[in-house]
């Protein structure tokens, strides 16, 4: 019963909805990118329709959605894209966000199962993120809902904190599993560390010819090792978050976290990594949906404190009165 009571207390923790709202906005933008880049592409019929409608397969696949709606037809595929884009836009604006996340997720799944081979691992990450937003009250602030209810775009009304914790756990699981899937001689310490160089020479991944990177092989080896260590070391982030949440328990690790915000260092490294990945490689919305989860690393009260620190200006020094002048009153 004691353990159960502690669990109930933990799940009853509430906080402002700023971090969840920022995740909602980031995920919605990533989902819109994922839908629109496929829907507007000339290869969309090729990968999602059957041979009779311009596809490369004799018969398109499907899911329970498509089976119950008469099978995969051009009209249904376009309707699913329209549903996905419309619901993602509603999620972005903060209108019925839980329903919008659910509809966008189901449209995404329906399109994915038409041809799973045309997608990537980021599809699972998008679907998981949308489901976590179904569980979260992510439109309590920075949303049209907030504007309609309060007359302002932001609100400090408390929401449940546990969905933010799950989003953080999702990020850690994603990076950790990705790192452990790279147990090859080209990634791990002691190997040749040429994984990034090889990847950037593959036409499947590269955005442009990168043969010019050959002289930078040592730098790419260091980057390969850094990426792998960042990913497999991601569980340490949970220790960082625990230390920051329990400063009263003391200890050297908590004192370090009080002096240095290791969350910011982690986010900065991850953001830099994803900027380079997105600029150099064709990886779909992977970087966008990954970075969209980063706001979950931070407590809602971190954002206003950082804003005040950025806007703070040094107080101008009072002028020195001339010799013999009377001091100011008070």
Q: DSSP letter at 251?
A: -
Q: Which domain holds residue 53?
A: 16-146
Indicate if 126 and 188 belong to the same structural domain.
no
Burial (0-12, 13-18, 19+ Cβ within 10 Å), 322? exposed
Same-domain pairing of 237 and 290: yes
Q: How large is the C-alpha radius of gyration of the chain? A: 25
- Number of domains observed in the structure of the chain: 2
Regarding whether 139 and 251 lie in a shared domain, the answer is no
What pLDDT sits at residue 200? 93
Claim to verify: residue 268 and residue 291 sit in the same structural domain: yes
In a domain, 151, yes or no: no
- pTM, to two decimals: 0.90
Token pair listed for 213: 């990177």
Closest CA to 130 of 160, 85, 97, 161: 97
Q: With 0-12 CB in 10 A as exposed, 13-18 as middle and 19+ as buried, what is 54?
A: middle
Report whether 17 contacts 137 (CB < 8 A): yes
Residue 286 sits in the same domain as residue 170:
yes
Residue 280: count of CB within 10 angstroms of its CB:
17
Residue 191, CB-side half-sphere exposure with 13 Å CA sphere: 16
Place of tokens 């207390």: 9
Residue 330: is its pLDDT beyond 50?
Answer: no
Which pLDDT band, with edges at 50, 70 and 90, does 141 fall under? very high
Within a domain: residue 101? Answer: yes
How many CB atoms neighbour CB 116 within 10 A? 10
pLDDT at 324 over 80: no
Across the range 309-327, mean pLDDT stands at: 56
d(CA 193, CA 49): 41
Q: Please work out, in degrees rounded to the nearest 5, the angle formed at the alpha carbon of residue 289 by the alpha carbons of 287 and 291.
A: 65
Q: pLDDT, tens digit, for every residue of 243-284?
A: 988 888 888 888 888 889 999 999 999 999 999 999 999 999
Residues 139 and 216 in one domain: no
In a domain, 326, yes or no: no
Tell me whether residue 90 is in a domain. Answer: yes
Our CA angle for 117, 280, 44, nearest 5°, is 35
Rounded mean pLDDT of the chain? 91
- Whole-number pLDDT of residue 314: 54
- Residue keyed to tokens 């990034």: 196
Which of 146, 178, 197 corresponds to the end of one domain? 146
Nearest to 284 by CA among 15, 13, 37: 37
Hey, how many other C-beta atoms are within 10 angstroms of the C-beta on 239? Answer: 12
């Amino acid at each position: 019963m004691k353990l159960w009571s502690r669990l109930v207390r933990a799940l009853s923790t509430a906080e402002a909805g700023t971090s969840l709202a920022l995740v909602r906005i980031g995920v919605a933008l990533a989902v819109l990118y994922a839908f629109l880049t496929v829907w507007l592409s000339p290869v969309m019929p090729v990968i999602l329709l059957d041979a009779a409608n311009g596809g490369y397969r004799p018969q398109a696949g499907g899911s329970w959605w498509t089976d119950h709606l008469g099978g995969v037809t051009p009209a249904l595929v376009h309707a699913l894209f329209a549903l996905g884009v419309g619901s993602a836009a509603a999620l972005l604006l903060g209108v019925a966000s839980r329903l919008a996340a659910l509809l966008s997720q189901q449209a995404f799944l329906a399109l994915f199962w038409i041809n799973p081979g045309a997608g990537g691992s980021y599809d699972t990450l998008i679907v998981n993120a949308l489901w976590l937003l179904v569980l979260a009250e992510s439109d309590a602030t920075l949303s049209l809902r907030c504007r309609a209810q309060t007359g302002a775009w932001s609100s400090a009304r408390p929401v449940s904190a546990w969905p933010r914790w799950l989003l953080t756990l999702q990020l850690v699981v994603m990076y950790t599993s990705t790192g452990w899937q790279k147990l090859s001689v080209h990634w791990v310490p002691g190997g040749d560390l040429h994984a990034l160089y090889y990847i950037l020479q593959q036409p499947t991944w590269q955005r442009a010819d990168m043969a010019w990177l050959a002289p930078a092989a040592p730098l790419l080896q260091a980057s390969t090792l850094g990426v792998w260590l960042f990913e497999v070391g991601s569980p340490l982030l949970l220790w960082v978050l625990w230390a920051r949440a329990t400063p009263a328990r003391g200890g050297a690790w908590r004192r370090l976290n009080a002096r240095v915000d290791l969350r910011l260092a982690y986010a900065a490294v991850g953001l830099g990594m994803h900027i380079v990945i997105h600029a150099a490689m064709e990886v779909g919305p992977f970087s966008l949906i990954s970075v969209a989860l980063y706001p979950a690393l931070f407590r809602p009260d971190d954002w206003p404190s950082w804003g005040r620190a950025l806007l703070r200006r040094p107080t101008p020094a009072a002028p020195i009165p001339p010799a013999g002048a009377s001091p100011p009153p008070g």
